[in-house]
Chain A
């Protein structure tokens, strides 16, 4: 036991140096990986926000068909594992003989469709917090449904759901790593690449986790910013 403790290569300084080497010697893999993660995240987030808002609006619309369509879409996609959705788009879609799409595009479609359901439901929760009087007042001054939704209801709804909405996008950020198994070289693929280069897997994973923590902290900062900006005295 004493001998083991005295072994020289257990000195922490050298271990730290080796871990830094793992990062610096493979910076190419790390940067391409996280660049692709960023692309997947930003593009999917924008589309999911747009689609989710539309679907959220459909679910409170006065037209029964719209409501039904929104409900069916949300309930089917939200109850399906993300990996399965990826499987469908990567292995099923090409068999349909439609336009050929690259793997990153297919990944963005899968991530968008999946995340939009959560955006829609989060937003619907926000819409429900807006007092009924607001909608009635909007109608009373003659606004049609679309305008009362976009000018009166949604701004208040978004403000109310800022924290859970950011949670949805944090989940999206982490979900992008599923694409690594479907031919998109993003952060989730870093470990596989580096383990083939003989780098210690734990160290690589800790670096990847560290960058994710930084990115999530960034999203949390955005949340705080908007919460403050949109704060109202009630």
Chain B
């Protein structure tokens, strides 16, 4: 009985210490953030008006923000199957935008939308905006608009921790590489690395399974996504090499809503502190350091 009690006491004092520490951190760096929980580095704006933004008109009418996100990318956009809570860098960016439009976290409706359906969800108005590892490309700009970029990454490689034969994209000849069906990274491998075998599954998590089983030698996609998976299972997985393409993530918006796009771009431009805090709380926990990219206000 006694040792158990002792343990509980130790745990309690640890918890108190942790609380005190986080409170300190929040107060020290929060600045004008007020006394609210230190977790959110942004405040909910009030009296926002965006004349001429059809998306914002719709948000006001609905009384909530509908955001398209990913749900299977740890560290970026991830839905906890047990609690239903969303977390990650992209999710925080999405919440930051909602707060900037005057909508707190409890006025947000998330819709998990896989990559292939993003354009149609935006065009059909199923969502107000999309934040989910959405690369800005000229082709996509024909059907949707992008605010940002808010993050820059590139195609990377994830391998098993004990793998010594793959250190960069130059070592891929004869190897079997997995990514999501039809995705840009796998199309890139097929075109530019003809000696490499490819495997395509519906989801990245299936690729991770195949990697752990030894069915494939590496998983490839945007390095940011891979870092999230490596952070989840650092004992078995590691990210190798430098990004060998450039991907810039933007916020997907309905085409022609320039008012909202400029508003979000302004928020990114003026919010470098907030951006850094969001990064440190999410992807930055893997130990990586990244700079916020400059906004492209086209």
Contact = CB atoms under 8 A, between A and B. Distances in A.
Contact of B181 (A94, A180, A198, A200): A180
A192 B183 CA distance: 7
B139 A191 contact: no
A102 to B, nearest CB: 10
Given A94-B215, A189-B181, A198 B200 contact: no
Nearest to A196: B184
A182 B200 CA distance: 6
A197 interface: yes
Contacts of A189: 181-182, 200
Contact of A198 (B143, B180, B210): B143
Interface stretch (B114-122, B146-154, B265-273, B280-288): B114-122
Contact of B201 (A94, A183, A202): A183
B58 interface: no
B142 interface: yes
A201 interface: yes
B116 A198 contact: no
Contacts of B139: 197-199
Nearest to A91: B209
A198 B137 contact: yes
Contacts of B213: 91, 94-95
Interface in B150-190: 180-184, 187
Given A91-B213, A191-B116, A182 B201 contact: yes
B170 to A, nearest CB: 24
Contacts of B181: 180-181, 183, 189, 192-193
A195 interface: yes
B182 A193 contact: yes
A192 B182 contact: yes
Most buried by B among A182, A183, A198: A183
A120 interface: no
A74 interface: no
Contacts of A47: none
Nearest to A181: B202
A103 B199 contact: yes
A205 B286 CA distance: 40
B140 interface: yes
Nearest to A192: B182
Interface in A81-125: 91, 94-95, 103
A197 B184 CA distance: 8
Contacts of B210: 91
Contacts of B184: 196
A182 B180 CA distance: 10
Contacts of A201: 116-117, 119-120
Interface string B101-127: 000000000000001111110000000
B143 A200 contact: yes
Given A103-B199, A201-B119, A193 B187 contact: yes
Contacts of A185: 182, 200
A179 to B, nearest CB: 10
A191 B138 CA distance: 19
A192 B142 CA distance: 18
Contacts of B119: 195, 198, 200-201
Contacts of B187: 193, 196-197
A183 B119 CA distance: 24
A154 to B, nearest CB: 40
B133 to A, nearest CB: 12
Nearest to B124: A202
A197 to B, nearest CB: 6
Contacts of A199: 139
A183 B200 contact: yes
B174 to A, nearest CB: 15
A196 B182 contact: yes
Nearest to A195: B116
Given A183-B200, A192-B116, 14 more contacts: A180-B181, A182-B201, A183-B198, A189-B181, A192-B115, A192-B181, A192-B183, A194-B182, A195-B115, A195-B116, A195-B118, A196-B182, A201-B117, A201-B119
8 closest residue pairs by CB, A with B: A198-B139, A192-B182, A193-B182, A181-B202, A195-B116, A183-B199, A192-B181, A183-B200
17 contacts: A95-B213, A103-B199, A181-B181, A181-B201, A185-B182, A189-B182, A192-B116, A193-B182, A194-B182, A195-B116, A198-B137, A198-B139, A198-B140, A200-B120, A201-B117, A201-B119, A202-B120
Interface of B: 115-120, 137-140, 142-143, 180-184, 187, 198-202, 206, 209-210, 213, 215
Interface of A: 91, 94-95, 103, 180-183, 185, 189-202
